[in-house]
Structure 1
């Protein structure tokens, strides 16, 4: 990699969140790395009507000279579509991913690169800390826990993989070629799991960089049990889905997970009923676990969270089961 070319690119996909995008990108303007050669920044507007145009224009005007912004419009909704469109613009092996509801501290990118130099693996992950508005008092502890990603790892090699938000990927160490993200996962997510499955298949490694956290600012519409419990249900379906889509299907494993799910739903559901009767502040944790168990039993329902489902009038994103491609390894928090 030549010295004239930035050693790293940051990718931010966005979907109809101009205010969040502005906050996310402005947190990159103050990165300490801007004084050390800067970096490329690729923004992908994934809304069909290009709702980020005005935000991108204002960001270009405020952007430091050491940051080179590339803006792309990918009108086909879907997180895999957006990330693939971004990767088509990338000219570096190292790519850091940030979501449009995240903000990074000033030393974030520098810490990611320091961790990579110490552990030059295919994929490195950092913590995600939840930043809730002060007005969010109902189920505050639960929501803070739900959106966070901080399993307590020390910096170093890990076996688990997580989501792309706050991840650094060395694509020279990922087997295969573009397109990197599986577009068949556009609606329900999991395209990053499929990518990380490539890494595992190629004997690649993962690392955790505890010194490189970011803050996530969940949308107000997501700070509701109606949203988080649908996600919890979908997470709970994961083990049964993997067993069902194995070749040949592992039917005994499916039955095992369904029985575990039934027990989990009954146990945590009973606790939730009791805790709800006394309005216990941690009751949401119990219904979350009960719903994850229920997902293992009712595995034939699909919840769609991305792509065209964000434009539809189906408020729950609920779809009856239809055959779908085999997902990659589950994220560590999805069982």
Structure 2
């Protein structure tokens, strides 16, 4: 692994998506190289049963001038396990997270390293994640009206064209386009295995939970809009079943992570039941397909919120029990 001053490791966790992974590696190697920086790639093959390792070896052999490439296998399923196995292996100044279904633009590496130099007081950085639309997607994904679908089926993080610091009371980025100074990995600790995807399910929020912990410890987070990654779009994400499932799971995770203490004991508040009932009524009475799709997704999100309140209450009871018993 690379190390020393002005060194950068690109960390990619992957599970049985070798074609997309190699596509990501091609874009990384096509990007402009930052002068005065060492750049390498570390791939964490998480419970892979496809040809990931074989094809990584082939990639390294046929591309001798590519970025330094290393990989390892983490047998325990779950992205958080892969991240926690990868971090101790990294010795570079900077760590950048790239998902295996992302592509980077041609200036990604240059702009990333430039940001680290331009903001010496920043500890964590995030850039933009944009859906990699190709024009074949349905019109509704671009709808900005009252019936727009959210969360979007394809991740998007865009805080505008102006660099700025972000804090706990602003939008918090996930790990898809996060980069940071390595010492913060040790200060914050591992990624929670209670969150995050296992295989290709829709679990998430392990990155949000980690960033929140970092900010609570005093980390300074800088948004850098010219560091851009594009998220691959596959047809499955545009299906109604996917929209509903994602809205439910991600809403549950967001509420579970919430620090709002306004509800008694963290239990599901009464207004949430009214919210679920209201969306159910709209689903049953909607005539237009656009409206029905919107209300089905909102209903799933509301039910996910209820699930999140329940999980948060259980988390707090468990934490209280451990504190009361003197366990740490």
| TM-score in same-fold range (> 0.5) | yes
Deviation at 1:128, TM superposition (A): 1.1
- TM-score normalised by the chain length of structure 2: 0.77
Cα distance, 1:90–1:162 mapped onto 2, change above 3 Å: same
Aligned to 1:254: 266
Cα distance, 1:239–1:197 mapped onto 2, change above 3 Å: closer
Q: Is 1:237 the equivalent of 2:244?
A: no
Aligned to 1:176: 187
Selected match of 2:296 from 277, 281, 287 = 287
8 Å CA contact 1:261, 1:295 repeated in 2:
no
Aligned to 1:117: 117
Per-residue CA distance 1:174-208 (angstroms, 9 max, x = gap): 56365x22234355433223322331232112121
Selected match of 1:212 from 210, 219, 227 = 227
Deviation at 1:278, TM superposition (A): 2.2
In 2, the alpha carbon distance for the partners of 1:133 and 1:287 equals: 26
8 Å CA contact 1:12, 1:42 repeated in 2:
yes
Per-residue CA distance 1:82-115 (angstroms, 9 max, x = gap): 1122223211131000000000011012112223
8 Å CA contact 1:41, 1:70 repeated in 2:
yes
In 2, the alpha carbon distance for the partners of 1:232 and 1:144 equals: 6
Deviation at 1:210, TM superposition (A): 1.0
- TM-score normalised by the chain length of structure 1: 0.75
In 2, the alpha carbon distance for the partners of 1:144 and 1:105 equals: 24
In 1, the alpha carbon distance for the partners of 2:129 and 2:108 equals: 12
Q: Is 1:158 the equivalent of 2:166?
A: yes
8 Å CA contact 1:174, 1:202 repeated in 2:
no
In 2, the alpha carbon distance for the partners of 1:18 and 1:232 equals: 27
Deviation at 1:215, TM superposition (A): 0.8
Cα distance, 1:220–1:91 mapped onto 2, change above 3 Å: same
SS at match of 1:73: strand
Deviation at 1:150, TM superposition (A): 3.1
Structure 1 residues 62-141: aligned runs within 5 Å: 62-63=62-63, 65=65, 67-120=67-120, 121-132=122-133, 134-137=135-138, 139-141=140-142
Per-residue CA distance 1:266-288 (angstroms, 9 max, x = gap): 444555555x51233x6534432
In 1, the alpha carbon distance for the partners of 2:100 and 2:3 equals: 29
Give the unaligned 5+ runs of structure 1: 303-320, 327-335
Cα distance, 1:284–1:169 mapped onto 2, change above 3 Å: farther
8 Å CA contact 1:46, 1:75 repeated in 2:
yes
Deviation at 1:18, TM superposition (A): 0.8
8 Å CA contact 1:111, 1:212 repeated in 2:
yes
Cα distance, 1:55–1:220 mapped onto 2, change above 3 Å: farther
**Count of aligned residue pairs for this structure pair:** 300
Give the unaligned 5+ runs of structure 2: 143-148, 320-328
8 Å CA contact 2:151, 2:247 repeated in 1:
no
8 Å CA contact 2:102, 2:230 repeated in 1:
yes
SS at match of 2:44: strand
C-alpha RMSD of matched pairs (Å): 3.4
In 2, the alpha carbon distance for the partners of 1:44 and 1:295 equals: 30
